[in-house]
Structure 1
Amino acid sequence: MSEAYITRVSKFLPNEGVANEEMEEYLGFINGKSSKSKAIVLRNNKIKNRYYAYTREGQPTHTNAEMAALAVKGLFSENTSEIKEADLLSAGTSSPDQLMPSHGVMIHGWLPETGSIEVVSPSGVCCAGMHALKYAYMSVKLQDKKKAIAVASERFSPSLRAEQFEEEVQELIRLEQNPYVSFDKDFLRWMLSDGAGAFLIEGKPNETGPSLRIDWIEGCSFANEEEACMYQGAHKLEDGTLKSFKDYSNEEIQSKSVFGIKQDVKLLSEKIVRLGFTNLKGILTEKGFDMNDVDYFLPHISSYFFESKIEDVLIENGIPVPKEKWFTNLATKGNVGAASIYMMVEELFASGKLEKGQKVLLAVPESSRFSYMFCLLTVC
């Protein structure tokens, strides 16, 4: 088999960064009032800046597919004609612009210069970007493809805007109940961000700059044991099952804000760290890899609240990582879901800090129904 290398990295962030005090100017005030939970959530997640594909006036500036395409074009900024050599587009997201067609082909629609190539669209939430990377990695390693593009992108902002919840609030008022949306819906409004990241995967390292050899990518799911924790387009019932938007009337979809993104915060806190990062020990043992050899540890976290919890679980399992080896940009980029790990790699790649032979471990937990992806890279 061939080796597979990340030879180029790129990102796209829409518009200017949005500071904490500006957020409701973009997302709006539900029932005309500021959120009660905003300050609490921001204090815990420690995010200072994020990006929205929207103007303050509520006008969309980019689609999800368009942002992904712009990140892909960034891979070929020095030689735009080289994009014609790409033979695979593997695209992951948890916030596609539509249910059909697939997200990948919509991105391809923004890239006419590629010609006719294979396109695949792994679904999921935060792990979707890693699934896209793994498909590209395997395709190159098997020598089925020569220049594979992996891209991950999110456009969460439309689902976070106040008008998505206004009908639910009005229904609560009619029922003479507290006119505030529940915390499981309000929670994510102060964490999520828009943007895209892309990798070029080839069978040989870059001759003019650093590359990252993909040593392995491993994933695991605990959906056979755990109920859904984060969901959209569904409503969680008392027994923990999800009722699809397809089984609600149009009126119920509006009154329950079924298309709002929801998070079972109690379940998240109890499960997200321990399940996946305990399982990491077994993966490292199977791969014969010593955590002491890690030079950079890139964990995708939705909130700095989980940083110490991950550290504790790694220590408990005998695979500690000194904090000076951790690398994250959550505070400056926000939680960009499937694209977050791409943006971390891009920032580290561009930092000038990487040295040949160093090991980079990626860790991506996904709370939707508790899935995890881990990846080991070697700097070449």
Structure 2
Amino acid sequence: MSMFCQITGLGVSVPENTVSNFDLEKIMDTSDEWISTRTGIKNRRILRDDENISEYACVAARKAIEEAQIPLSKITHLLVATCSPETLSPSVSCIIAQKLGLSEYSGLQLISNSNSSLVCFDFNAACSGFVYGLELARAFLALDDNAVVLLVTAESLSRRMNFQDRTTSVLFGDGAGAVVIQKNGEALFDIIDVSLGADGDYKDLIRIGGGTDKKVRVGDRISEDFFLTMQGKEVFKCAVRGMVQESLKLLEKNNLSVQDVDLFLAHQANLRIIEAVGERLAIPKEKVFTNLEKYGNTSASSIVLAMAEAREQGLLKKGQKTLLTAFGAGLTWGSALIS
């Protein structure tokens, strides 16, 4: 059953360091023409060596909180979508909570005399993270009408790129986004419904190593499987099929057709994928928003970055029906409808 929640604040933040296709020409066998024609990407934002993505996540979070006009003490849940965390433990969500000052309202020293508490955790749905996060937020709000969810996306995939592999390393950039989700707030957008899917049978199509599947000793060399690998042709087919099917399922569930969609925001992975999904859904090109030429594939952050820019350009407006869809490693996929 659908349950309406509101996005009441939105913020994004990306590293200042811009790496263009021409910059990549200097360090690998590629060219601006090769990258542009195959992906639609011209630039991407990359963390500098002395930066971490939580810094940018906090900037995005503060923007969202400010727009939502809520005090920090009202936040009950801090959820972080990431497949590239700074550390496996502590979670990025706890790192962000500390940097934002949320610990002041939920620390152990206050438990005995405080009615408030804070839930923090990271989750990994890869590039589908934001859409999955919308559903998680709806679940928490179904349990507690007074919950206030801060959903953050924080991706630094440049730290897991093998820059000797031109087929993958040219695709990804770093970035962060955040939305505040609640009930009974001043809505920027209503979340009408969400539909999700996954299939572990295709788990090997996109992989990032570095977990505990291999024993590592001090002094061991990093192997190639530490970095992101992807089987591009198969990913393309699965991505298009997954996003199209989930989008149609979501529209049908809500008694809507493709003609009812005012704006289409897909995960900004590859221009060819976005165009293929739009064509199969029969969505007019003027309703399809893209900005991956500026940022590349920022994984879970890409839809939030697209929402912020489309809103800034006056293309994303309250009251219109906007279809969001994403696809990522796992394999995971999902669609959401906001208005």
Whether 2:45 is the aligned partner of 1:69: answer no
Change (3 A) 1:260 1:37: farther
Q: Which amino acid aligns with 1:371?
A: T
Whether 2:311 is the aligned partner of 1:349: answer yes
Change (3 A) 1:223 1:287: farther
Whether 2:213 is the aligned partner of 1:246: answer yes
Runs (5+) with no aligned partner, structure 1? 163-180, 235-243, 315-319
Q: Which amino acid aligns with 2:209?
A: G
Q: Output the CA distance in 2 between the equivalents of 1:251 and 1:14.
A: 31
Q: 1:45 aligns with which of 35, 39, 48?
A: 39
Q: Counterpart of 2:150 in 1: which secondary structure?
A: strand
Q: TM-score, normalised by structure 1?
A: 0.77
Percent identical: 23
Whether 2:230 is the aligned partner of 1:263: answer yes
> For each residue in 1:229-256, what CA deviation from the matched residue of structure 2 results, as whole angstroms up to 9, or x when unmatched?
110117xxxxxxxxx7633656997464
Do the aligned partners of 1:47 and 1:331 also contact (CA within 8 Å) in 2?
yes
Change (3 A) 1:119 1:248: closer
Do the aligned partners of 1:361 and 1:376 also contact (CA within 8 Å) in 2?
yes
Matches within 5 A, 1:1-380: 3-23=4-24, 29=27, 34-36=28-30, 40-54=34-48, 59-61=49-51, 63-77=52-66, 82-113=71-102, 115-116=105-106, 117-160=118-161, 162=163, 181=164, 185-206=165-186, 211-224=188-201, 226-233=202-209, 246-247=213-214, 254=221, 256-314=223-281, 320-366=282-328, 368-378=329-339
Q: Which amino acid aligns with 1:188?
A: T
Q: Counterpart of 1:373 in 2: which secondary structure?
A: strand
Do the aligned partners of 1:141 and 1:203 also contact (CA within 8 Å) in 2?
no
Do the aligned partners of 1:195 and 1:336 also contact (CA within 8 Å) in 2?
yes
Q: Output the CA distance in 1 between the equivalents of 2:266 and 2:316.
A: 17
Q: Output the CA distance in 1 between the equivalents of 2:141 and 2:171.
A: 35
Q: Output the CA distance in 1 between the equivalents of 2:3 and 2:69.
A: 26
Change (3 A) 1:137 1:23: farther
Q: TM-score, normalised by structure 2?
A: 0.86
Do the aligned partners of 2:9 and 2:68 also contact (CA within 8 Å) in 1?
no
User: Highest Rg: 1 or 2?
Assistant: 1
Deviation at 1:131, TM superposition (A): 2.0
How many residues align structurally?
326
Q: Which amino acid aligns with 1:196?
A: A
Runs (5+) with no aligned partner, structure 2? 107-117
Deviation at 1:120, TM superposition (A): 2.4
Q: Output the CA distance in 1 between the equivalents of 2:218 and 2:280.
A: 45
Q: Output the CA distance in 2 between the equivalents of 1:357 and 1:80.
A: 21
For 2:114, the equivalent position in structure 1 comes to none
Change (3 A) 1:289 1:98: same
Which deviates the most, 296-305 or 15-24? 15-24
Q: Output the CA distance in 2 between the equivalents of 1:373 and 1:49.
A: 26
Q: RMSD value over aligned CA atoms?
A: 2.7
Q: Output the CA distance in 1 between the equivalents of 2:306 and 2:67.
A: 22
Change (3 A) 1:77 1:50: same
Q: Counterpart of 1:363 in 2: which secondary structure?
A: strand
Which deviates the most, 250-259 or 129-138? 250-259
For 1:168, the equivalent position in structure 2 comes to none
Which deviates the most, 133-142 or 250-259? 250-259
Do the aligned partners of 2:9 and 2:188 also contact (CA within 8 Å) in 1?
yes
Q: Which amino acid aligns with 1:369?
A: G
